[in-house]
Structure 1
Amino acid sequence: MTTAPLTERSPARAAWDKTGTVVVPGALERTRFEAIRAETLSRLERTVPYVREEATAHRDGSFASPVHCGFLPAGPELERLAYDKELLAALRAATGLSRLVPRGGAAVVYREGDFQGLHTDTVKATITVGIALTSGLPSMGWAPGLRDAHPDRLAEVIAEHGLFPEGEGFTELGHPYADGSVRAFAGYNVPHWRRKHQGRVGALATLGTTSGRVCW
């Protein structure tokens, strides 16, 4: 894959700065998707429960609220994708962030009733990539109007709107499923959440990349 040199404020960068998310088409071959899906679903017994009851601010500036789900370390196939040069090039081109470097991956596992309340990711992840490995995952809640909001403000939002805000300023993003595309999003500075999962076990592969700096 060949990409043109990126300027500091390319059109892709401007679009990324405005929305904080982008769907990258053709980033994942079907055979590779199936391999990652199979290795993840075959290792569900290794899932580590992740449960939090309180809303807290972390020292790195990220914000956490109640959550109930599970995490599964990346298997060999997902780990290879996390460091794939072509995927990294596609992410750089789609976002205009030319200094991205990979940080690895994991899978989030949702069983009946599992959820993630409004939160932001670690500041070390400039871009988080989400890949739905099962159909039927609830959409991801998204609050671009709260980008870079202070944790105190996010605590106020939860007090006013609950863990899964609705209404003006709050929207939802779907994760493409098995069509070769992936969703990239600025989870470290745009608050997001996921409503309670219904039905059979769901899984979302996640990849992290960092630009080495977080001031855009």
Structure 2
Amino acid sequence: MTTAAPIERSPARAAWEETGTVVVPGVLERARFEAIQAETLSRLDLTTPYVREEATAHRDGSFASPVHCGFLPAGPELERLAYDKQLLAALRVATGLSRLVPRGGAVVVYHEGDFQGLHTDTVKATATVGLALTNGLPAMGWAPGLRDAHPDRLAEVIAEHGLFPEGDGFTELAHPYADGSVRAFAGYNVPHWRRRHPGQLDFLATLSYMDL
């Protein structure tokens, strides 16, 4: 009986699996970025509160914890970016995930005091793209050492370290602003969070991609 040869991973796939994140340059023209900014400002009246008081594990394996911010559904400009074929091709190459498919987008609105506790994204977000639409958006918390951790373990982390962990094994991940690049990260696999927001109003566009 012969043993099947191991499947070789591309360098991009290996890097993605090791770090859980990649910055993809040269995929967002300035005019398109500014159009998404303007669209966001013009639709702020459609923002709805996104509030959760408890930590919960979901059936898809994702983990949620307390959150307080605003949620703005994607407008036409952001939706076109979410389904842009060139962006999708660049993400597939950069992550090594050749079967990524887009699942849509949204804008998270942060006012003073808003936050998102340690959580993971839905299973439909094998790769999440974060696009800062305001200059000075604080970095998000990032725990690559907890990649693929069971929700019970994440509940223990919150009990031990709180909603916004600090110390060894916990770091930060910043999003590029208006330089033509986007950051993709393993939203479903790696826990992340956002501390209580400072005084300024900030917007983060998010796009989700699922690996079939």
The TM-score, its normalising length taken from structure 2, stands at 0.95
Contact kept in structure 2, 1:138 and 1:196, CA below 8 Å: no
Question: Residues 147-158 of structure 1 correspond to what in structure 2 (within 5 A)?
Answer: 147-158=147-158
Structure 2 distance, partners of 1:8, 1:40, is 42
Structure 2 distance, partners of 1:185, 1:54, is 25
Could you say which residue in structure 2 is the equivalent of 1:76?
A: 76
Task: Supply the AA of the counterpart residue of 2:164.
Answer: F
Task: Supply the AA of the counterpart residue of 1:179.
Answer: D
1:23 and 2:23 matched: yes
Structure 2 distance, partners of 1:84, 1:71, is 22
Unaligned ranges ≥5, structure 1: 1-6
Could you say which residue in structure 2 is the equivalent of 1:9?
A: 9
**How far does the alpha carbon of each residue in 1:40-79 deviate from its partner, in whole angstroms, 9 at most, with x for none?**
1221111010011111111111100010001100000000
Q: Which runs of 4+ in 1 moved over 4 A?
A: none
Classify the secondary structure of the residue corresponding to 1:54.
coil
Could you say which residue in structure 1 is the equivalent of 2:138?
A: 138
Aligned length: 206
Structure 2 distance, partners of 1:41, 1:197, is 19
Percent pairwise identity: 85
Structure 1 distance, partners of 2:111, 2:172, is 20
Task: Supply the AA of the counterpart residue of 1:18.
Answer: E
Structure 1 distance, partners of 2:172, 2:8, is 29
Structure 1 distance, partners of 2:53, 2:135, is 28
Return the offset for 1:138: 1.7
Classify the secondary structure of the residue corresponding to 1:137.
coil
Could you say which residue in structure 1 is the equivalent of 2:4?
A: none
Between structure 1 and structure 2, the one with the greater Rg is: 2
Question: Residues 158-197 of structure 1 correspond to what in structure 2 (within 5 A)?
Answer: 158-197=158-197
Could you say which residue in structure 1 is the equivalent of 2:59?
A: 59
Task: Supply the AA of the counterpart residue of 2:92.
Answer: R
Could you say which residue in structure 2 is the equivalent of 1:86?
A: 86
Unaligned ranges ≥5, structure 2: 1-6
Could you say which residue in structure 2 is the equivalent of 1:198?
A: 198
Structure 1 distance, partners of 2:58, 2:98, is 28
Could you say which residue in structure 2 is the equivalent of 1:4?
A: none
Return the offset for 1:140: 0.8
Structure 2 distance, partners of 1:177, 1:63, is 28
- Taking only aligned residues, the RMSD between alpha carbons, in angstroms, comes to 1.0
Structure 1 distance, partners of 2:73, 2:175, is 20
Return the offset for 1:8: 5.7
The TM-score, its normalising length taken from structure 1, stands at 0.93
1:106 and 2:95 matched: no
Structure 2 distance, partners of 1:8, 1:190, is 23
Structure 1 distance, partners of 2:190, 2:83, is 24
Contact kept in structure 2, 1:137 and 1:197, CA below 8 Å: no
Classify the secondary structure of the residue corresponding to 2:31.
helix
Contact kept in structure 2, 1:117 and 1:164, CA below 8 Å: yes
Contact kept in structure 2, 1:8 and 1:96, CA below 8 Å: no
Task: Supply the AA of the counterpart residue of 1:67.
Answer: V
Could you say which residue in structure 2 is the equivalent of 1:37?
A: 37
Could you say which residue in structure 2 is the equivalent of 1:119?
A: 119
Contact kept in structure 2, 1:113 and 1:198, CA below 8 Å: yes
